[in-house]
Structure 1
Amino acid sequence: VEVTAETDGTRLHLRVADNGRGIDPAVTRRSGLDNLRRRATDLGGSCTLTPNDPTGTIVEWTVPLPAQADV
């Protein structure tokens, strides 16, 4: 598993990549992944799942960061 977190100061981008079996398209119940998507979209962001090459899955979760108040 490879986990990365990056920010440009306005957005947070998380990426998790593994080399497992991937997500079986025949399995329709994905409550944990649906929860990740809902949380991202509720915050104005996105969550995507793509196949990793040659095996596994990549999950990318991006959300805007709150504006920083001047101190």
Structure 2
Amino acid sequence: MSSSRETEPNWNYEASVAEIEALIEKIESGELPLETIFSEFEIAVKQIQQCEQFLSQGVKRMELLIETLEDDLDF
């Protein structure tokens, strides 16, 4: 799956989380038409998926670094 982060070099995890929170507040306000709620929810889900992918990649990088460090200590 291609991430929009690949096409948006200025993508930022913290900014995405803030945007997701704002979308949730708009949805929970009860003031939006149902179709708009569906659209906003879809956007939030896509952003959550991007954030999860970012965190997953970060965990993999950390695990690799730890493994490399452990290999270096086993000399």
Provide the TM-score with structure 2 as the length reference.
0.27
Larger Rg: 2
Provide the TM-score with structure 1 as the length reference.
0.27
Structure with the higher helix share, 1 or 2: 2
